[in-house]
A = this chain, B = another copy of it.
Amino acid sequence: MAKTKTEKPLILITNDDGITAPGIKALVQAALPFGKVVVVAPDKPQSGMGHAITIGHHLRLTKVDYMEGVEAYACSGTPVDCVKLAVDKVLHRKPTICLSGINHGANHSINVIYSGTMSAALEASIESIPSIGFSLLDLSIEADFTAAAHFAGIIIQKVLADKNLDKHLCLNVNIPKVETKLIKGIKVCKQAYAKYEEKYVERKDPYGKKYYWLTGEFINFDKSKDTDVWALKNNYVSIVPVLFDLTNHIIKEKLMKKWNA
Q: Which residues of B contact A47 (CB under 8 A)?
A: 55-56
* Nearest CB in chain B: distance from A60 CB, A: 6
Question: Is there a chain B Cβ closer than 8 Å to A36's Cβ?
Answer: no
B48 touches A212 (CB 8 A): no
A217 in the interface (beta carbon within 8 A): no
Question: What's the Cα separation between A36 and B187 when bound, in Å?
Answer: 47
Contact with B along A198-213 (1 / 0, CB 8 A): 1110110000011111
Q: Is the CB of B59 within 8 A of A245?
A: no
Write the nearest CB–CB distance from A189 to chain B, whole angstroms.
8
Flag whether A188 is at the interface (Cβ < 8 A).
Answer: yes
Tallying the copies of this chain within the complex gives 2
A30 interface residue per 8 A CB criterion:
no
The answer to whether A214 and B259 have CB atoms under 8 Å apart is: no
Which of chain B's residues has its CB closest to A87's CB? B198
Given contacts A89-B202, A198-B84, contact A188 B59 (CB under 8 A): no
Which of B84, B188, B200, B242 is within 8 Å of A88, CB to CB?
B200
Q: In the bound complex, what is the Cα–Cα distance between A159 and B78 (angstroms)?
A: 36
Cβ–Cβ < 8 Å partners of A4 in chain B: none
Report the Cα distance A251→B214, complex, angstroms. Answer: 35
Tell me whether B50 and A45 are in contact (CB under 8 A).
Answer: no
Interface flags, A77-90, vs B, CB<8A=1, else 0: 01011001101110
Collect the chain B residues with CB atoms within 8 Å of residue A248's CB: 170, 241-243
Q: How far is the CB of A88 from the nearest CB of chain B, in Å? A: 5
Return the 6 tightest CB-CB contacts between A and B, nearest first: A50-B51, A241-B251, A243-B248, A58-B211, A241-B248, A242-B246
For the complex with contacts A240-B252, A243-B247, 8 further pairs of A-B residues with Cβ separation under 8 Å are: A48-B52, A48-B53, A52-B52, A55-B214, A58-B213, A113-B122, A190-B245, A190-B252
